Amino acid sequence: MLNETIAIHVNKTESSRLSSVDFDNLPFGKVFSDHMLEMDYKDGKWQTPVIKTFGALNLHPATSAIHYGQSIFEGMKANRTENGEIVLFRPDMNAKRFAESCERMCMPVLPEEIFVELVRKLVEVDKDWVPMKEGYSLYIRPFMFATDDFIGIKPSDTYKFLIFTCPVGMYYAEPVNVKIEEYYTRASHGGVGRAKTAGNYAASLFPARKGQQEGFHQLVWTDGVEHKYIEESGTMNIVFVINGKLITPSEDSDTILRGITKRSVVEIAQKWGVEVEERKVTVEEVITAIKDGSLQEAFGAGTAATIAPIAKIGYRGEVLELPAVETRELSNRIKNYMTDLKLGRETDELKWCLKV
């Protein structure tokens, strides 16, 4: 199969750091596994991928990604099931989104099957780094950036694709407080909001910090034209339950990142017969629903946290309290179902888990 078509060079490390890691206290994204995968693109083609000891890169100061931001990434997770198998959650969707980000950023498209195979192989090499503890997982970061050492502006001719992994614990321990942002924007029509590209995150730091200074963990982004429609929450998609219906901003807008967690939440809810509306969601209807008690649940959906319950929403100087997290039947049920799937306690009817 693919294994035969892609030759991957594997140079295993001489000295594993595994025994020095405290797997009971894992901060998010600060502990790195022994190996990384690196694959260059030059002369119009991908070179042989290499798995080697995790370590620093040596870059030319004119490396074009640093100056002009041709840089994209993915975020995904591997879990250890109860019977010790290691599974990736919907990696084909990350591969597809990565290819779309490549396209939008004028980067060579990495074929989807190769993306999945490279991720699978790296996780297999570092399988002992996949945590055993429930709620913990191996976070996987595939990324690609332009490497031409040239300060003229044009799409680079050369690129690096890399993957590294981090054993991680819980992302947010506590429910989050968010503020509806009505001045700054994350993305605009015709822009790059749908691509998982570096500059989107750089642009969000300043408004996010202002929000934090006002006591909020994250911002709820609104549309860049009227600030009337809700788009996302921080670096997660946003989902509401109002009058028993699951309501989430539709992805037709190219300002919204197409999240795999959100897609999965929607598909699970539909499978259970919950009414789902993917459409434009106004700030006004959400505020009204909080005030009249019809809003039952609100949460962020993303790979890092899976489901991050929203406790409070700040809007025009007012802070509105949402129903207690324990009362949120649907999101708690979806969260448990997704956990059970990844741990192999639920049968994987939809074939979302790929064995490593």
Ligand X SMILES: *Cc1c(COP(=O)(O)O)cnc(C)c1O
Positive or negative, the CA dihedral 283, 285, 289, 295 is negative
For residues 124-134, one letter each, b for 16 or more C-beta atoms within 10 angstroms of the residue's C-beta and e for the rest, the string is ebbeebbbeee
Q: Does 259 bind ligand X (CB under 6 A)?
A: yes
CA distances for 351 relative to 21, 344, 346, 347, angstroms: 33, 12, 11, 9
Pick between residue 218 and residue 235 the one whose CB is nearest to ligand X: 235
Q: Shortest approach of ligand X to residue 301 CB, angstroms? A: 6
- Binding string, residues 294-323; x marks residues near ligand X by CB under 6 A: -------xxx--------------------
Q: Does 140 bind ligand X (CB under 6 A)?
A: no
Q: Shortest approach of ligand X to residue 115 CB, angstroms? A: 14
Q: Which stretch binds ligand X (CB under 6 A): 54-62, 142-150, 229-237, 315-323?
A: 229-237
CA distance 305 to 294: 25
Pick between residue 51 and residue 88 the one whose CB is nearest to ligand X: 88
Q: Shortest approach of ligand X to residue 87 CB, angstroms? A: 16
Positive or negative, the CA dihedral 3, 41, 255, 183 is positive
Site size for ligand X, by CB under 6 A? 14
Interface residue with ligand X, options 196, 217, 312, 328 (CB under 6 A): 196
Q: Shortest approach of ligand X to residue 185 CB, angstroms? A: 12
Pick between residue 283 and residue 301 the one whose CB is nearest to ligand X: 301
Q: Shortest approach of ligand X to residue 260 CB, angstroms? A: 3
Nearest to 112 by CA among 86, 89, 93, 138: 93
Q: Does 261 bind ligand X (CB under 6 A)?
A: yes
Place of tokens 């539709």: 250
Q: 6: which 2 tokens?
A: 């892609």
Asked if residue 321 lies in contact with residue 298, where contact means CB atoms within 8 angstroms, the answer is no
Q: Shortest approach of ligand X to residue 18 CB, angstroms? A: 27
Pick between residue 49 and residue 142 the one whose CB is nearest to ligand X: 142
Phi-psi sector, 28: left (phi>0), alpha (psi -120 to 50), beta? beta
Q: Which stretch binds ligand X (CB under 6 A): 42-50, 139-147, 253-261, 328-336?
A: 253-261
Asked if residue 47 lies in contact with residue 6, where contact means CB atoms within 8 angstroms, the answer is no
Phi-psi sector, 69: left (phi>0), alpha (psi -120 to 50), beta? left
Q: Does 126 bind ligand X (CB under 6 A)?
A: no
Q: Shortest approach of ligand X to residue 227 CB, angstroms? A: 18
Q: Give, as one character, the DSSP assignment of residue 195.
A: S
Interface residue with ligand X, options 46, 50, 68, 75 (CB under 6 A): 75
Q: Does 137 bind ligand X (CB under 6 A)?
A: no
Q: Which residues bind ligand X (CB under 6 A)?
A: 75, 196, 232, 235-237, 257, 259-262, 301-303
